[in-house]
Every structure is written in structure tokens, then in C-alpha cells.
Amino acid sequence: MNLAAAANENLANTSNVLIYSAMAVYTLAFIAYIAEWVFGSRSKVSRTSAALAGSTTGAQRASTVTVRVAEKGGGTAVLERPKVVTRSVAGTRDVPDGPGASGGTEKGDLYGRIAVSLTVLAALLHVGGVLSRALSVERAPWGNMYEFSITLSMVAVVAYVVLLACGKNVRWIGLPLVTTALLDLGLAVSVLYTSSDQLVPALDSYWLWIHVSCAIISGAVLYLGAVATALFLFRDRYETKLENPEGKQPSSFAASVMERLPSAATLDKFAYRINATVFPLWTFTLIAGAIWAEKAWGRYWGWDPKEVWTFITWVAYACYLHARATAGWKGRKAAYLALIAFACFLFNYYGVNIFVTGKHSYAGV
């Protein structure tokens, strides 16, 4: 074995060690996020939402706008118009969402800060693992499913950290994000792992850096949108139950969890903005793939399973955004459509690569 090969092997082993180290720190972050959710008190916005939503019916009956109209003969007639009170206005207007699950309590906030610090450390180890993998073979670190998986979860965590650094109140997404990152890395190292090696000839192109990197970034950000969408559905159902005091009320456990989330309106807005922001990049991913296909196989489109499901995913998200923009779809209907779109992405990510044979069968498993 020559010196270069040995050095590459050392870097590959370093990458493995860093990935396992990141998993260990993610586990500690997971415990810290759990502690934040357990020991943090009810958030200010949730207390206000619950109190106002619980009295919505009475408020709608009591809140009126009185207009006095002069009549002939000196008398007056009183016209009362009910004041419209919506859930989102009553629950969230003038009440900012808290920074995370802690709801501003000192103990909960301490655990939350510890969780974020551990997440940042794990992200650094994660980035080091991906870079070491790239240096071990001197190419882009996404030539097979193992590399694609560890890179996608890395980008998702880094995006979360960047949002926090920009002052966005998104700590509520930390627990599901770290949980998913652990599951993704566990699947990668146990099922998808492939020894560090050079690319197959079809992938040996500069388009690998362009097309696949865009796909990874798009998928990671779409995942954040999907998490917010799923949490919106739970939170919206919770708020609906609070608005109907005569119906079945949430259990104490459900209330303790839901009250640590931002309002349903906030979650819905966050998911929409995330999906709308990354959609142009997913569009470019589809176009770049077609250009690369022409360079590699002499045609732009060949109805390969990966091409088909990439297009299906694009259509699903296009329908979601179009419905929000033109048909006025908001709330649960739009959320279901967004989750269907992300399910298409997941099938394109796992199902097509692992279970379907085609020109894009580079899973390496």
C-alpha cells in the first residue's frame, strides 16, 4: 500500500470517528432538549392563547360595535354588529412567541441553552466528518447513499444553527431535528455504510458538485418545513379543542406538550416561508439534472425512476405553493398537501435509490 492510499484510509477512519462522536453529542443534546420540554413551564404565548381561546365564544357574544342612528322625531336606534374574533388574532396578536420550549423560565431556558450548545458542537463534529470523508478521496462527499445521508442531516442541523444565529425563535424545532439526525446517522452507519472509494464513471463530473449539492440543500430545508407542518397539525387541533369548551378537552399530557410550541399560525407561516424559499433551488436541481443527463447519457430526459420522482416532487410542491397563492388554501388542507409533497421527496431519496433499479442506482448498499 502506498503512502497516498494509507493517508486516504486514515482520513476515512477519521471521518468515521467524527461521525460517531457527533452521534454521541447529538444524544446528549437530545437529553438536554427533553429536559427543556419537561422542566420548562408553559410558555407565555400558550397561556395567553389558552385563556383567550377558552373564552372565545363568550367574547364573540359580548364584543359588539354599537352604532347609534338618529331617527325622525328625535329618537335613536341602536344597531349592534358582532366583532369578529379569530383564533389567530385572539391567541397571537401582540404576544410574541417564546424562544423555545422553555417558555422563558430560568430552569427551562438553561437546559435549552445547553441543548443548543451541544447541537452546535455536534454540528461541528458532523461537518468535520463529512469534510474528512471528502478529503479521503478528494471528491464531493455524496457519491453514494451513506455520504448523501450524512451530508443531508448535516445541512439540516447547520440550517437550524444559522436560523438561531440570525435571531430566529426556532428552538422549538431542536428536539425533532436532533432526533431525526440521530436516526439518519444511525441508519447511515449501520445499513447504508460504504467504504470510502472513488466514483463510478457516470458520476465523475463537475455536475456532481452542482446538481447533488442543490438536491441535498433543498432536501434538508424541506425537512425543516415538513417538521413545522407536522407540528402545526398537532397544535392546530389542540387550539381547536380549546375553542370548544363543551367538547372533549386535551389531556394534561397533551396540553403540557402543545403549550410549549408556537401558535398554529406561526408554525403555518414558518412552514410556508421555508417551502417557498427553497422551491426555486429544487427547480434548479431538476434543471441541472437534465443538463447533466444530456452530458452523461446524450439525452435530457429518459423517464428514469429518479427523474420521474424528482419531477413528481416538484409538481407536488408547486401545487402546494399555487394553492396557497391563488386558491387561498391555508391551514390543514395546505398542510396535508405539503406533507404529501415531502413524502414524495422521501420516496425519491430512499425508495428509488435502494429498491428501484435505474441509471441512478448508486446507493452502494
For residues 245 and 270, the model is more confident at: 270
Q: Give 105-155 pLDDT, tens digit per residue.
A: 666 778 889 999 999 999 999 999 999 999 988 888 888 889 999 999 999
Confidence of residue 52 (pLDDT cuts 50, 70, 90): very low
User: Residue 165 is placed in which grid cell?
Assistant: 444565529
Give the DSSP H/E element, type plus range, for residue 326: none
pLDDT of residue 216: 93
pLDDT of 306 higher than 70: yes
pLDDT of residue 353: 79
Q: Give 247-299 pLDDT, tens digit per residue.
A: 677 667 677 778 788 889 999 999 999 999 999 999 999 999 899 888 878 88
User: Residue 201 is placed in which grid cell?
Assistant: 464513471
pLDDT of residue 296: 77
pLDDT of residue 315: 96
Paired strand residues for 79: 67
DSSP assignments along 128-196, one per residue = HHHHHHHHHHTS-S-SSHHHHHHHHHHHHHHHHHHHHHTT---GGGHHHHHHHHHHHHHHHHHTS----
Phi, psi of 70 (to 5 degrees): -70, 135
User: Residue 145 is placed in which grid cell?
Assistant: 447513499
Mean pLDDT of 92-110: 55
Phi, psi of 64 (to 5 degrees): -135, 155
Of all residues in the chain, the percent with pLDDT exceeding 90 is: 42
pLDDT of residue 247: 67
